[in-house]
Every structure is written in C-alpha cells, then in structure tokens.
Structure 1
Amino acid sequence: MATEHTEPGAADEGAPVVRKPTWRYLGPGIVVAATGVGAGDLVSTLLAGSKFGYTLLWAAVLGCLIKIALAEAVGRWHLATGRTLLDGWRSLGPWTTVYFAIYVVTWGFIYGAAAMTSSALPLQALFPGGPDLKYWAIATGLAGLGFVWFNRYAVVEKVMMVLVGLMFVVVVFVAIRVSPHLGDSFAGLLPVLPDGSLLYTLGLVGGVGGTITMAAYGYWINAKGWTDTSWMRMMRFDNRVAYVTTGIFVVAMLIIGAELLHASNVSLTEGGRGLLDLGNILENRFGGFTAKLFLIGFFAASFSSLVGVWHGVSLLFADFVGRIQAVRARTDSAAGSVDAIARGEQERSLPFRGYVLWLTFPPMTLLWLDEPFGLVIAYGVLGAFFMPFLAATLLWLLNTSRTPREWRSGPLSNTVLSVSAVIFLVLCVEQVRELPW
C-alpha cells in the first residue's frame, strides 16, 4: 500500500514515506463534516436564506474555509506529534481536564435526546400512521447504539459516506428544483451586512458544521490508520474535499431558503421541526415525491450526525478516561494511544462503550420530561465556550515547542484560527446572553 502512494525521492532513509493524495482513501473528513451538519444547522441556514435571500452567501463560503483550517489544525496535531488532542490539552494545565469532564458529560446527556428526536422527526412524517415521536426517537437511538457497538471505524465510515451521498444528492436536487437565480446568487458572494444580519452572518460562518465533533477528526484519522506525517498531504486533501462538499451542501440549503421562503415571506419553526415545515412547502409546490425525497435527505443528515457523535465523541471520552488512569498509575500512555486507536482497541474499551450507553439511555428520560432548567443553562454555557476553546488551544499547541518546528502553524493558519476564535467568542457571548437565566 505504501509504495503505491510514494513520491519518488520524497523520503530519505529513516523518514516516513509520503503518501500522495488519492480519492481511494477519502473518509475521515467526510465523517467529521457530516457529523457536524445536523438538523439545527440546516434550519439556521434556511432561516438566513429566508430573511436575507442570497445576501449572506459569502458568509457560508467563509465558514467553509474556517472549518477547513480548524480540521486541518486538529489533523496536523495528531500526525505531527503522534499525540491525541486530549493529550495536548492536558499539557496546557489541569483546567482543561476539568472543563472537558464537565462538558462531555453534560453535553452528551442533552445532545443524545436532541439527536434522537431530530432523527425521529422525518421518520414520523414519512410514516404518519406509525408510532409516537418518542418511540421513533428511542428506535433511532438504539439503532445508533447497536451499529456503533458491533462495528469498527471502517464500517462506520462506509455507512456515513452513503448517508452523506444521499443527503447531498437530495438537497442539491431540491436546490436545482426550485430554479435558483444565478445572477442573485453570484451577487451574494460580495461581503455585505444588511441591517439585523450580524448574528445570522456569524452563525453561518461559525455555526454550521462546528461542534465538539471537529475535535474528533484527529481520532478518526488515527482510526483510519493515519498515524504519522507521511499521511499529512492525504489528510489535507481529505479535509478539503469534505468541507468543499459541505460548503456546496450549505449553499444549496441557502438557495432553498432564498427561493422558497424569502420571496414568499414564509417562516419556519426553530429546530428540527422547521425542516418538516419545509417538507410541507415542497409538497404543496412540487408534489409528494419531492417532499418525501427531502424527508429522506433530512433523515440521512440527522442520523449521520447521531452515528458520528456516538462513535467520535466516545473515542474522545475513551482517551480522556485512559489518560486519567495513566496519571493515577503514574505512567505515560501518550506513545501508545494513537496506535491503540489505529488498532481499534479504543472501540472495544469499557469507557468507549460506557459513553455510547450514556448517549443513548439517560437522554431517553428527556423524551418524556421537560429538560431541567439548570441543565439547559449548563449545556448552553459549556456548548457556547467549546468552539472558541478549540480554536484558542489549537493556536497555543501549534505555535509552541509541543509541535515539531516544521509542522507549526504558518501565517495563514494562524490568521484563520485567530479570526475563527474571535467569531466563536462573539457567538459565545451572544448565546450566553440569550440563555433563559
């Protein structure tokens, strides 16, 4: 395998063989991009299109570029240092361990219920005579649990790529079906900020595809078998293809919002139910086939996020627990952790499976009960702080002696990471301000 992708003369004796970028090995980038784009992100993009037409198209493109830079930084850390991101965070001080522990437990509890509900909504719409929504939600959660429990990354990646292909084809088809005005769409590439658009703009730039799952990218490339700098070019190619695909997907959703909702002044419900509103609009305008096709794409987008989180964040949690155990045992597990992920050992570990169970069963209680007020506040605060935390710590890790000099961030990477940190910080402040204190 290595010789097939080797550049002649690229490696001296003792240096890792350089793999050429190839379409055959695409995967981790698609997985992280698909996981980060859920129903809520789709609705926020639709709302931006419905309120401002094509005016904020440039923000969606900028957001795609920022996600490329963030994911590249995560992947570069894993490949250049042979250490996981959690190991890097731990080197910054014990405060990162405390923050992550609180965050990953609280976030997982709330997200589990949200992901199951989001995946259940299109199923209930496709089968209106079927079970109640909460039972569909339980079924999707159990399906995600069983799939991740009994399969390894290679199978997860293949299924995720099928789901991504399905939702991509469906959404692009619907965008073409609504007959976009190409002149208006190209005009939207000029940076303009209409009155009242600042938060929508920041949301498009920083929100779509940006969650804790971006931190999981490094774990997925290790699970793919990419464990050293010989895979650097392949990782960058994989990352760019994935987020360009996501960019096209987001632009297609913006087009749908601009064409179907902006001109007609139609409003959508917040959250995943807004996509059901859009399904009804599509049925009235284009017939039942297009509406059902969109609901299938809606399910693919939601369930791919569920599967991605069940797998990727569980890998993060398994690494987190492993490092705590290593500290208590006064041993250094850093050298073996990346190889353990590549061998699939983390996916069979008790912490991995324990977190998958945590994502599945405790959140089911929220399907019957209103979310506790204090938990909602904690979830909102911690979630708002994660993306600026990620951008800022990547800047720190990739510009110090923790990273080999040749792989430290250059001016372009530092500029984009700094801009993204500022954008995410502003979003963080606004989200905290809007919480129901």
Structure 2
Amino acid sequence: MREPNKIASAVKEQPVQTVTPDGASHPAPPAKRRTFLGYLALMGPAFVVGAWQFGPGNLTTAVQAGSRYDYTLVWVIAVSTILMIFFTDMSVRLGISTPTSLITSIKDHLGKWVGVLAGFGVFGITLMFSVGNAVGSGLGLSLVFGGSPVLWTVVCTAAVGFVLAFRNVYGIVEKALLAIVVLMGIAFIASTVVAQPDWYRSMEGMVPTLPPGSEILIVALVGTNFSINAAFYTSYGIKENRRTRADYRDITLVDTIPGIVAPGIMTALVIMVAAAVLGQTGGEATSIGALASIFAPLAGPVGSMLFALGLSGAAFSSMIANATAGGTMLSDALGRGAKAGSPTARIFTGVILAFGLAITISFQASPVGLIVIAQSLTVLIAPLLGVLLFIMSNKAAVMGSLRNKWWHNLFAAIGLIAIIASSLRLITTLLG
C-alpha cells in the first residue's frame, strides 16, 4: 500500500486536463500571464483581413444600399459579419495546426491541382479588387487635398510598392493596417454623429427583408462583407506570427472577433449615413463622391472631409492587404514561397498594384458599376474557398484537437449555403 504522501505526490504530478475553446479535453499548456501589451501583440491577422474586405467596393455597395433602400439592408451586414467570424476562426485554427501553409497543406491532402486552383482563384479576385482600391484611394485623397484623383492613385500605389522593399513585409503591413483601421473607425463614427441617423429605423433594418430590385446589391454586399477569400488569408498571418495552440483563446478574443466586427460596424454606419443624408437632403448618393458632395451641405466641409478621410483610409488599407494577400497566395500555389517577403510573392504583389493603376489610368471616369460587378463576381470563387476551409478544418489528421465541432460545422454550412445561393442568383441574373 502506498503511503499517503506518495499518493498526494502522484496526484500532483498528473497533468491538469482542460477544455479549450475548440471543445477538446487535453493537457493544458503552460499558463501565460499576458500584460496589456502582450494582448496587443496578438492583434493583427484578423485586422488585416478586415482592412482587406473594408475597401472602396464595400463602401460603394454600402452607400448604394443606404441611398436606395434606406435602412432595410443593415441585416445583410449583421449576418455576413457573424458568418465571417466563423470562417476566419477556421482559418486561424488551420494556421495554428498545419505544419505548412494552407495552400501547401491543401495540395498535400486534396491534390496539387486543387491548391493551384485556389491560389489562382484568389489572385484573380485580388486583380478585380485592385481596380476599386486604386480608384478609391485617389478619389478619397483628391476630396481631402484637391488635385487629380489619378495623380493621387499613382502616389498611393507608389507608397504601397515602397513597402515591398522592406525585409519584413508582412510585419510592416500588419502594423500599418492596425493604425489605419483605428483612424477609419474614428472618421466613420464622427460622420455618423454628424449625420444623425434614425437609430430606431436602423434597428428595424436588422429584420431580414428583400426590397424589390435589391437582389444584385445584396449579392455585392455579401461578396464584400462575407469575404471568404479574405478569411482564407488569415492562416498566413497566423503562420507569419508563429502563433501556437496556447495562443488560440486569446487570439479569438483580442483579434478574430474585434478584427471582423470592426469593419462590419463601419459598413453598417456607412449605410446609416447614406440613409440619413437621403432623408435630410433628398439627394440620392449612388457613388462615394456623390455622398461626400451631398454630405457637405448637411454637415459642412468638416463633415464632408471626415467622410473623405474614412474613404481614403479604407481604399489605402485595402490596397495594401489585397495586393499582399494575392501575391503571397499565388506564390504559395506555385510552390515559390508562402511568405509575403518571398521574391515571387513580391513580384506578384507588384503585378496586382500595376494592374489596378493601369486600369485606373486607362479609364479615368470613376467606374462605380465596374466596382459593384467586380465585387459580385468574387462570389463565384468564394464557394470553392469556403468548401476547402470546411474540408480542411474537419480533417482530424490535420487539426487534431482544433478540429471543427458541430457548432462550427453548423455555421459553416449556413455560410456555404448563403454564398452558393448568392452565386446562383448572380449567374441567373447575368444570364437573364
């Protein structure tokens, strides 16, 4: 018979079992006591994703939603944000669990051609986004400082290209986008205070309705706010920062949720501002520039400038994240490196920037219709990326204890149904 003190010692030596946020029971990792700065250090990947999805295309569709349909489409943003959180979380867990990058893991487990197709699909999406980012960045700064929008587009493109010369490309991008997101939030909150929207009617807009003729605009709103291609890229940020399973819970609380909720709130505020401007001035703002000009008599030059500053930040931040993500994932698909600083990734990032600039210079009129159509077309690639995230995050051999649980799969299924339905609606509308 063992002595009591030996029994007690044996009990103390047993590893403590804990249930992590993914629902699995396993030995707890060593506890980490994080300082406030330690929590801030975990912020980044999801905010990069949020900055990517919150670009000129997002603003354009939000302005049209508020101007044409008042507050009735706010619910689309709320639903899209919830679904976006779940898909971003899947990508976070894949970034933690996979020994290699996401596209390389897809090639290893599902076939090389599948990973290559995913990489080229995302690259195609980023090319389409680059046009809106280039146009929006120039337009926003021209509204603030005057001068030619095309000239400002050249300046913004050169500034982003300059970042490619640095060794730690992703680290610089991440820090810059965190700061820009904060500034954008301040600008759009201030714009909302000035516009004084009807908060009761905005809450009514949380009830799902389908106003006649709003179908394509809803598809565009889903394509920009439930951005699976952006969620897909989160795993690369996780890899760049070398996050571990011990970090997962804190990442969820300080990065994943706030990083995705922030652009959702800003998009809803833009819809409300557009609806308020329409209600108080009677002018319909079908473009960002039109909203800024109509906003001026309502809020004065300061109010108009606040909105223009928000637009500039949205366009510039999206330009940075979009080009970096597209270049990185195509480089990964071709087996030429999965980091933003790899030579091939830098080249493809430059190609995306050059494409957006070339189209902007060639067609100097603000292509609002092109932006909306481009955002809608992203929904055609999104189902593939969503299915790949779903399949990979359910593979026990890949995920281990971070494998999807039933509630993950429930919301993933809802998201896939929504994105596939949007794709089918877009196809039938275009063919009709």
- Unpaired segments ≥5 residues, structure 2: 1-14, 19-24, 365-369
Q: Residue in 2 aligned with 1:333?
A: none
Structure (1 or 2) with the larger CA radius of gyration: 2
Which residue of the partner structure matches residue 365 of structure 1? 358
CA gap of 1:362–1:65, structure 2 versus 1, over 3 A, is closer
- Looking at structure 1, the residues matched to 345 and 357 of structure 2 have their Cα atoms a distance apart, in angstroms, of 19
Distance 1:229 1:86 in 2: 20
* Aligned equivalent of 2:398, options 381, 385, 403: 403
The yes-or-no answer on 1:352 pairing with 2:345 is: yes
Correspondence for 2:202:
185
Q: 1:295 to 1:380 in 2, by over 3 A?
A: closer
Q: Does 1:143 align with 2:156?
A: no
Q: 1:321: which partner in 2?
A: 334
Please say which of residues 148-157 and 25-34 is displaced more in the overlay. 148-157
After TM superposition, give the deviation of residue 413 of structure 1 in Å.
1.3
Kindly provide the amino acid, as one letter, of the partner of residue 160 in structure 2: G
Does the 8 Å contact 1:71/1:217 carry over to 2? yes
Cα pair 1:41 1:209 within 8 Å, conserved: no
C-alpha displacement at 1:252, in angstroms? 1.0
* CA distance 1:154–1:229, shift in 2 (3 Å): same
Q: Select the residue among 115, 118, 131 that pairs with 1:100.
A: 118
Structure 1 residues 264 and 133: alpha-carbon distance in aligned structure 2, compared to 1, 3 A threshold: closer
Equivalent residue for 1:117, pick from 122, 130, 135: 135
Conservation of the 8 A alpha-carbon contact between 1:317 and 1:352: yes
Q: What is the aligned partner in structure 2 of residue 383 from structure 1?
A: 378
Q: Residue deviations 1:253-287, cap 9 Å, x none? A: 12112211256553333xxxx11111101111111
Q: Is the 8 A contact 1:36 1:213 kept in 2?
A: yes
Instruction: State the TM-score, normalized to the length of structure 2.
Output: 0.82
Partner Cα distance (2:44, 2:74) in 1: 27
Query: Is residue 115–residue 302 contact of structure 1 (8 Å, CA) maintained in 2?
Result: yes
CA–CA distance in 2 between the matches of 1:16 and 1:319?
31
Normalised by the length of structure 1, the TM-score is 0.81
Distance 1:296 1:127 in 2: 10
Alignment partner, residue 3 of structure 2: none
Conserved in 2, the CA contact under 8 Å of 1:10 and 1:17? no
Number of the residue aligned with 1:278: 291
Instruction: Give the direction of change, closer, same or farther, for the CA distance of 1:78–1:98 in structure 2 (3 Å limit).
Output: closer
Report how far residue 27 of structure 1 moved. Answer: 1.7
SS at match of 2:306: helix
Q: RMSD of the alignment, in Å?
A: 3.2
Change (3 A) 1:230 1:206: same
8 Å contact from structure 2 (residues 116, 334) kept in 1? no
Superposition pairs for residues 156-167 of structure 1, below 5 Å? 156-167=173-184
Distance (Å, rounded) in 2 between the aligned partners of 1:381 and 1:258: 22
Distance in 2 between the 1:66 and 1:118 partners? 27
Q: CA deviation at 1:436?
A: 8.7
Aligned-pair CA distance for 1:168:
0.7
Point out where structure 1 has 5 or more consecutive residues left out of the alignment: 1-7, 326-336
Between the aligned partners of 1:393 and 1:267, the Cα distance in structure 2 is 41
C-alpha separation in 2, matches of 1:31 and 1:145: 17
Aligned counterpart in structure 2 of residue 425 of structure 1, from 408, 412, 420: 420
Counting aligned pairs with the same residue, the percent is: 22
| Cα distance change, pair 202–176 in 1 and its aligned pair in 2 (3 A) | same
